[in-house]
């Protein structure tokens, strides 16, 4: 019995560590609600260790035996709620509550059945299998497919399988004639040892997905411009780089640089608050007009960039002119009636294998040409002719342009 009691103590302490960890995350992350539910789940489930430890010494074994069952199941239900919040696959509260209450009532009915029988083991372990399988199903139904999500899915599936195997193990190994005899049975030591490993594994996996979300949130916030809601220069570069790598020799991308005309004059005349409103409105126009898979960013004070993957120069010119026209007629708060804001655009095709910096410099030159040409206009250019080595180079010593 001493070994089983020791494992119960270990399980309780480990659960409290996870409670503290999830509570800390709940304060620091946008996944705070999910982490708080997970903390509650581990806290409630850990109370079962106290109930099981008291069982051999209490004159009311039924109360503590059912209490241990109810605490574990309630903890799993709370974890299911937390995972539902995190993965946006919520469990319906009436269904979850009915499942919990029904399972506890069944446990009360089977309490007096011989504990080493298949009938008792089946009805005792099945609710745990179902709630773990239900939690795993939430991950499957979600759209998240990272490695951390896959590991958590595997741990929940293993936990569900563990409770199925316990149905047979409780009969084969013997779980004691009564609930009070449980801690003296061989089954208790095996069950608590495996349970401890699964608690640690599942808890670490849950922490992994939540911490990954915290890291992703921090990375995203460092790459998003707070005023416009678009990517900042760093975020724009990091998102465009893989799109450039995906371009083949037969593909073409297009880069648009836009600069709001006379923006300093807007700030000086109407105030920085109105200038901020101009930035926000222009950003909304970009988000509304640019096509699917395009990346937009605010790369300077009043300068913006848009990358259009697999979009030719002619279509990009149409997009740029659409943005230009939309801004010119946009009514912006803080500006007097009849005062319009315009922007100039430099549009350059981007060839496969071309570096983003080179394309940015070319588009920037076109943007300055648009400014010099009177503003509120679009200037376009094809990428420079690329040169590759011809099959005859070694014979002629010359390159063939393509």
Report, as residue numbers or ranges, the catalytic residues.
Answer: 302
CA distance 178 to 338: 87
Length in residues, the chain: 402
Burial class for 192, CB neighbours closer than 10 Å (0-12, 13-18, 19+):
buried
Handedness of CA 383, 385, 386, 391 (dihedral sign): positive
Six-digit token string for 189: 């030591």
Rg (CA), the chain: 32
Give which of 299, 398, 45 is closest to 195, Cα–Cα: 45
- How many Cβ atoms are within 10 Å of 138's Cβ, its own excluded? 21
Burial class for 145, CB neighbours closer than 10 Å (0-12, 13-18, 19+):
exposed
Q: Do 136 and 80 form a contact (C-beta atoms < 8 A)?
A: no
In this structure, the strands spanning 378-381 and 295-298 are: unpaired
Question: What is the three-class DSSP state of 103?
Answer: helix
Give which of 279, 283, 297 is closest to 234, Cα–Cα: 297
CA distance 173 to 171: 6
- How many Cβ atoms are within 10 Å of 104's Cβ, its own excluded? 17
Question: What is the three-class DSSP state of 214?
Answer: helix
- Tokens 């503003």 -> residue: 375
CA distance 153 to 214: 19
Question: Which bin fits 376, alpha (ψ -120 to 50), beta or left (φ > 0)?
Answer: left
Question: Which bin fits 375, alpha (ψ -120 to 50), beta or left (φ > 0)?
Answer: left
């Amino acid at each position: 019995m001493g070994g089983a009691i020791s494992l119960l103590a270990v399980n309780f302490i480990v659960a409290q560590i996870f409670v503290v960890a999830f509570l800390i995350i709940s304060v620091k992350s946008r996944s705070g609600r999910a982490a708080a539910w997970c903390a509650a789940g581990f806290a409630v489930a850990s109370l079962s260790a106290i109930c099981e430890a008291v069982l051999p010494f209490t004159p009311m074994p039924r109360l503590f035996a059912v209490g241990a069952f109810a605490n574990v199941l309630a903890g799993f239900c709370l974890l299911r709620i937390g995972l539902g919040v995190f993965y946006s696959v919520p469990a319906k509260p009436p269904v979850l509550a009915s499942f919990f209450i029904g399972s506890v009532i069944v446990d009360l009915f089977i309490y007096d059945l011989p504990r080493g029988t298949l009938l008792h083991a089946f009805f005792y372990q099945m609710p745990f299998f179902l709630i773990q399988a239900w939690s795993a199903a939430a991950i499957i139904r979600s759209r998240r497919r990272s490695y951390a999500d896959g590991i958590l899915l595997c741990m929940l599936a293993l936990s569900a399988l563990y409770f199925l195997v316990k149905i047979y193990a409780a009969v084969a190994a013997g779980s004691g004639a009564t609930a009070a005899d449980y801690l003296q049975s061989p089954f208790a030591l095996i069950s608590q040892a495996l349970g401890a490993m699964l608690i640690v594994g599942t808890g670490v996996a849950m922490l992994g997905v939540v911490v990954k979300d915290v890291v992703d949130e921090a990375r995203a916030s460092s790459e998003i411009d707070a005023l416009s809601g678009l990517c900042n220069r760093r975020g724009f570069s990091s998102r465009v780089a893989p799109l450039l790598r995906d371009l083949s020799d037969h593909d073409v991308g297009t880069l648009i640089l836009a600069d709001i005309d006379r923006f300093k004059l807007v700030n000086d005349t109407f105030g920085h608050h109105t200038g901020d409103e101009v930035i926000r409105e222009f950003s909304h126009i970009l988000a509304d007009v640019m096509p699917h898979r395009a990346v937009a960013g605010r790369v300077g004070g009043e300068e913006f960039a848009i990358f259009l993957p697999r979009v030719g120069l002619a279509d990009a010119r149409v997009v740029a002119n659409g943005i230009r026209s939309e801004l010119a007629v946009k009514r912006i708060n803080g500006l007097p009636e009849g005062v319009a804001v315009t922007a100039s655009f430099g549009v350059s095709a981007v060839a496969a294998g071309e570096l983003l910096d080179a394309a940015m410099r070319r588009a920037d030159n076109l943007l300055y040409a648009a400014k010099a040409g009177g503003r509120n206009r679009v200037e376009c250019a094809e990428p420079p002719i690329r040169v590759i080595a011809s099959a005859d180079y070694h014979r002629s010593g010359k390159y063939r342009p393509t």
